[in-house]
Chain A
Amino acid sequence: MPIPRRAVLEQLAAESDATARETTTVVTLAATLEIDERAVEAHLQGLAACELARIDADGNTRVTITGEELLELGTDEVVIVDALGQVSGR
């Protein structure tokens, strides 16, 4: 059964820490969420495109500060992240 991307973000935030740079792995996430590793990787790529997750070359991954702030918004519908609108130096 497909799992929503938001659920992956929530689990990623539970298993990693943006400030402390603590990471988790795709394998761990897949086991916890009980889904295929490739499905986790696909979601992580999507989250990374939104700047909500980081994936390093070793396959370790963590939530970003942006991802943590998104979860703190407490919204659960219609979330689009637009990096085009970024404003530097604020």
Chain B
Amino acid sequence: MSEKETEQSAPDDAVQYDPDSSRYDLYECPECDNVVLALGRDEPPMSCHDRPMERVTDVEMQVKPPDVKQVLLQAFGLPKAGLDICLCVIGEGPLSASEVAKELGYDRSTVTRYLNTLVELGLLRRSELNREQGGVVNVYHSVDLERMRRETLIGFYVWAGEAAALIEDANLTKQDYLEENPDRELPSVFWEEFEDD
């Protein structure tokens, strides 16, 4: 890809890692290629090769900023309708399943199905409440905020780890290819070969 094409494809709303921001930090090992992400900590979170890891400060690249909806959809395989349901009721509940279905334009059975999916994903809890005329009613509500915070962060880190491993595999494949084929062009064949792996 040419420089011109690279410039044209850069998103307008790209963000850049800011080492001075307290939102998150990147650390790297001065001895090896180990890089870690840390949230909400001021000190290096761990050591590597018996040395404290060092904060990454020289990154100039820009990346497309994540969207919370897309992160949840991608990282947790959350169905979009399920997310719509969660967003629909925040601050509005208690709502009946019929009201949610009407608001979102879904069948009531669809809402019930997605509610159960959200329970299976651990994003909602289901409780059975007694009815005055007998039987029970299912109530779907938020899980404990601390528990949700922990589970969504760990879940996302697992997903990010898988993504990082894919990128690393791609880089190693690219490196191997260039070493084995020093005289060949890379771009047109690299991704095809990687996909075959």
Assuming the A-B contacts A79-B140, A83-B137, are A66 and B129 also in contact, with contact meaning beta carbons closer than 8 angstroms in the complex? yes
Of residues B109, B138, B142, which shows the largest number of chain A Cβ atoms within 10 Å of its Cβ?
B138
Is B134 close to A, CB under 8 A? yes
Given contacts A66-B137, A80-B93, A49 and B99 within 8 Å (CB-CB): yes
A52 to chain B, nearest CB (A): 6
Contact between chains at B91 and A81 (CB < 8 Å): no
**Residues on the A chain within 8 Å of B108, using CB:** 84
B90 contacts chain A at the CB level, 8 A cutoff = yes
From residue 116 to 159 of chain B, which have CB atoms closer than 8 A to chain A?
124-125, 127-132, 134-142
Interface flag for A78 (CB, 8 Å): yes
Query: Given the complex, which residues of B lie within 8 Å of A89, measured CB to CB?
Result: 134-135
Residue in contact with B137 in the complex, picked from A47, A51, A75, CB distance below 8 Å: A51
* B148 and chain A: residue at smallest CB distance: A77
Can you list, as one digit per residue, whether each of A18-60 has a CB less than 8 Å from chain B (1) or not (0)? 1000000000000000000000000000110111100000000
B136 proximity list for chain A (CB < 8 A): 86-87, 90
Collect the chain A residues with CB atoms within 8 Å of residue B140's CB.
78-82
Instruction: Determine whether the beta carbon of A49 is less than 8 Å from that of B96.
Output: yes
- Cα–Cα distance between A12 and B189 once the two chains are bound (Å): 69
CB contact under 8 A between A50 and B95, given known A66-B130, A66-B131, A89-B134: yes
What is the number of contacts between chain A and chain B, taking CB atoms within 8 Å?
126
| A9 at interface, CB cutoff 8 A | yes
Nearest CB of chain B from residue A1's CB, rounded to whole Å: 13
A21 to chain B: closest residue by CB: B132
The CA-CA distance from A4 to B96 in the complex, in Å, is 15
Residues of A within 8 A of B96 (CB): 46, 49-50, 80-83
B95, B129, B138: the one within 8 Å of A69 (CB): B129
Q: What are the residues of chain A within 8 A of B93 when measuring CB–CB?
A: 5-6, 77-80
* B95 x A65 contact (CB < 8 A): no
Given contacts A50-B94, A80-B95, contact A75 B135 (CB under 8 A): no
Q: List 30 A-B contacts (CB under 8 A).
A: A4-B92, A5-B92, A6-B94, A50-B94, A66-B137, A69-B129, A70-B129, A73-B139, A77-B142, A78-B93, A78-B124, A79-B93, A79-B94, A79-B95, A80-B85, A80-B95, A80-B96, A80-B100, A81-B95, A81-B96, A81-B129, A82-B137, A83-B137, A84-B108, A84-B112, A85-B112, A85-B137, A86-B135, A86-B136, A87-B135
* Residues of A that sit less than 8 Å from B by CB: 4-6, 9, 18, 46-47, 49-52, 64-66, 69-70, 73, 75-90
Q: Which 4 A-B pairs have the closest CB atoms?
A: A85-B138, A79-B93, A82-B97, A75-B141
